[in-house]
Structure 1
Amino acid sequence: MFNNSNKILFVIIMMMGTMITVTSNSWLSAWMGLEINLLSFIPLMSDNNNLMSTEASLKYFLVQALASAVLLFSIIMMMIKNNLNFEINSFLISSMLLSSLLLKSGSAPFHFWFPNIMEGLSWMNCLLMMTWQKIAPLMLISNINIELILLLSIILSVIIGSLGGLNQSSLRKLMAFSSINHLGWMLTALLINEMIWLTYFLTYSFLSFTLIFMFNSLKIFYFNQMFSLLFESKILKFCLFLNFLSLGGLPPFLGFFPKWIIIQQLVMNTQYFILIVLLMTTLIMLFFYLRICYSAFMLNYYENNWSTKFFYDYPTYYSHMFLSFFSIFGLIFISILYFMF
């Protein structure tokens, strides 16, 4: 529907919308930035050659429009309360603001739209949904300090994100539920410190980019494709599955580094209940990641007799190896640098 130059323009406008929201000094300008971001992302989602992406873009617009309406209504109520001195419950306004932002980010219990929309998108659009589209809502959530609602959302996000991925055959839905689980960790990081959230978000974005870049290059969308493809390189297959474990936060991979920081901070603040919930749900996630990787890691793993050759260019292959190297050995290098300096 759009050529490459138009798509680049929409990406620039989308990024500008996020920057407007992050740097705004009023709720109204933050809402305007969110709307600019929304209206520029929808054309990137829709594709005339794929009815599922068109359906996904329509669902995304309806959900985000509902969240924006609630957000704008809350902002108007806040302005009426502050300027006209009306007696309106501040907790109610803040709760509506927070709920609309949780709906925009896809956190539980407002996660219902996220896996279905992810299923209809291309891998690159999935990456934008999981990373860039989370920045503006999460930065606005950091300005609303309602710990009770945030703790409820954290617990539900990590539980639903871990249990929802148990019975999935689609990689896009699995990545969606993984994103919901990681959102619980990100909200926990926001309660502690914004720098810890930034560390977690950047690490998660890098790991998601590494996996999705490999999925997109190999044209993999479902689990059975992962097992039926006979990779020309066994190293590439091992890197693909080790990146799964890194995303799940298994030490000694890079994905464990931001979780390590959060665990340390929760222990120092004696918040043991939320820590136990986070750790138990992460173990459930690691269970279904290990279930995927288990057969591929076995030395007596039987592959299909018929050969499915996958032809890829060597620059892409070396890019996979380069990204996977940092994903797998990143924590070791960070630990060495920490003890050196």
Structure 2
Amino acid sequence: MSTIAQCLFISTLISGSLISISANSWFSAWMGLEINLLSFIPLMSNPKNTLSNEATLKYFLIQALASITFLFTTTFMQMYTHSSLPLVDNLFSMLIISTLLMKMGAAPFHFWFPGTMEGLNWKNCFILMTWQKIAPLILLSYLVKMNLLTLLIIILSVIIGSLGGLNQTSLRKLLAYSSINHMGWMIAAMFCGENLWELYFLTYSLLTLTLIYMFSILSVFHFNQNFMIINDSQPLKLLLFLTLLSLGGLPPFLGFLPKWIVIQSLIALHSYFICFIMILMTLITLFYYIRLSFTALLITYPQMKYKPSCIKKITLTIPTTLTSLSLLTLPLCSLIYNCL
């Protein structure tokens, strides 16, 4: 695909999300989601890659199913606007929440997300994990309430996102399950305030951008490639795995900040059980991040005599800048918070 076509589809991709965010009716929100979907499909497809075409078809079918359900639900909801039955309103709300969860790949509608991620390149993986979740999350924040359904969604997201990544050897699937886990934290943050889940999403996007940029310039897709290919760039190797620990929420790093605030807010709301489950499942995600980092940093691996050309061209300027933001910003944020 030419650069002009990519710029065109990216601009309509952004426009579709902005239409959904600024919509004043459910039909306008659906229209924005459809523009966003139809703009992302050409960016995903690659005629030279069978896995990419399979992921594109899977993504299109799932999103089309969610869009149809969303449209029919909002249409019937307009027909029953004057209904005074709480059961009808709760049913419509549950259906819309389910379609939004399916669109962004949160549990229990996560079945398509890891497989789709596996067939994409790193650039499209970043778009799918960050930008494609903005409009569904904002629409979801209009409907989410502290009830049994939402609590079940949060618990399922953090459990599936944690346990699903334990046996993975693909970095794309690992980040997919990590994204499912973070979706649970973001939905829990919606109970505490609009600004909190937005802060969480911005922090998550920064950490994901840092990781995907380094994986992309190194052409790394699996665990064993981390051990071999980065031996000639030890600083980059250290920055990469420190950012992984930051994404897992290890306290000295920036990734701990939004989780810290969410935990404090949930405790203030007396939601002790769900807070305990979320912290416990985060420890499991930290386990497989630490397992990857520990093995790559402390065990000696044989070096290849042939050095890929990508290693020679790597400069540490951009990775160091992005990693510095993700590793060193927590003390600064704490200082600003105390000064205010």
Contact conserved, 1:229 with 1:308, CA < 8 A, in 2? no
Q: Which residue of 2 aligns with 1:63?
A: 62
Q: Which deviates the most, 262-271 or 212-221?
A: 262-271
Q: Which residue of 2 aligns with 1:290?
A: 290
1:331 is aligned to 2:330: yes
Letter matched to residue 274 of structure 1:
I
Letter matched to residue 141 of structure 2:
S
Q: Which residue of 1 aligns with 2:318?
A: 319
- Distance in 1 separating the partners of 2:196 and 2:91: 29
Q: Which residue of 1 aligns with 2:43?
A: 44
Q: How many residues align?
A: 337
| 1:303 paired residue among 287, 293, 301 | 301
**How far 1:149 moved relative to its partner?**
1.5
The alpha-carbon distance between structure 1 residues 103 and 296, as it changes in their structure 2 partners (threshold 3 A), is same
Q: Which residue of 1 aligns with 2:124?
A: 125
The alpha-carbon distance between structure 1 residues 108 and 232, as it changes in their structure 2 partners (threshold 3 A), is same
State the SS of the aligned residue for 1:150: helix
Q: Which residue of 2 aligns with 1:225?
A: 225
Q: 1:3-42 residue pairs with structure 2 within 5 A?
A: 3-42=2-41
- Distance in 2 separating the partners of 1:231 and 1:58: 37
**How far 1:22 moved relative to its partner?**
0.4
Contact conserved, 2:44 with 2:120, CA < 8 A, in 1? yes
**How far 1:305 moved relative to its partner?**
4.5
Letter matched to residue 52 of structure 2:
S
State the SS of the aligned residue for 2:281: helix
Q: 1:191-340 residue pairs with structure 2 within 5 A?
A: 191-298=191-298, 301-310=299-308, 311-312=310-311, 316-340=315-339
Q: Which deviates the most, 312-321 or 48-57?
A: 312-321
Q: Which residue of 2 aligns with 1:171?
A: 171
- Distance in 1 separating the partners of 2:74 and 2:199: 30
Letter matched to residue 135 of structure 1:
I
State the SS of the aligned residue for 2:232: coil
Contact conserved, 1:245 with 1:286, CA < 8 A, in 2? yes
Q: Which deviates the most, 38-47 or 309-318?
A: 309-318
TM-score by length of 1: 0.95
Q: Which deviates the most, 230-239 or 255-264?
A: 230-239
- Distance in 2 separating the partners of 1:307 and 1:333: 43
Q: Deviation digits for residues 185-222 of structure 1, max 9, x if unmatched? A: 01001122110011000000000000000000000000
- Distance in 2 separating the partners of 1:266 and 1:331: 20
The alpha-carbon distance between structure 1 residues 296 and 86, as it changes in their structure 2 partners (threshold 3 A), is closer
Q: Which residue of 1 aligns with 2:158?
A: 158
Q: Which deviates the most, 319-328 or 116-125?
A: 319-328
Contact conserved, 1:231 with 1:309, CA < 8 A, in 2? no
- Distance in 1 separating the partners of 2:214 and 2:192: 33
Aligned-residue Cα RMSD (Å) equals 1.6
State the SS of the aligned residue for 2:142: coil
- Distance in 2 separating the partners of 1:74 and 1:152: 22
Q: Which deviates the most, 227-236 or 166-175?
A: 227-236
- Distance in 2 separating the partners of 1:123 and 1:314: 19
The alpha-carbon distance between structure 1 residues 307 and 334, as it changes in their structure 2 partners (threshold 3 A), is farther
**How far 1:295 moved relative to its partner?**
2.4
Contact conserved, 1:230 with 1:303, CA < 8 A, in 2? no
State the SS of the aligned residue for 2:92: helix
**How far 1:89 moved relative to its partner?**
1.4
Q: Which residue of 2 aligns with 1:78?
A: 77
**How far 1:322 moved relative to its partner?**
1.0
- Distance in 2 separating the partners of 1:261 and 1:181: 17
Contact conserved, 2:189 with 2:196, CA < 8 A, in 1? yes
Identity fraction in percent: 51
Q: Deviation digits for residues 156-211 of structure 1, max 9, x if unmatched? A: 00000000000001000000000000000010011221100110000000000000
- Distance in 1 separating the partners of 2:144 and 2:292: 39
**How far 1:240 moved relative to its partner?**
0.6
**How far 1:315 moved relative to its partner?**
7.2
Contact conserved, 2:226 with 2:296, CA < 8 A, in 1? no
State the SS of the aligned residue for 1:339: helix
The alpha-carbon distance between structure 1 residues 52 and 314, as it changes in their structure 2 partners (threshold 3 A), is closer
State the SS of the aligned residue for 1:142: helix
State the SS of the aligned residue for 1:64: helix
Unaligned runs of 5+ in 2: none
Unaligned runs of 5+ in 1: none
State the SS of the aligned residue for 2:143: coil
- Distance in 2 separating the partners of 1:185 and 1:263: 10
TM-score by length of 2: 0.95
Contact conserved, 1:162 with 1:282, CA < 8 A, in 2? yes
Q: Deviation digits for residues 112-163 of structure 1, max 9, x if unmatched? A: 0000000000000000000000001111111113432211111000000000
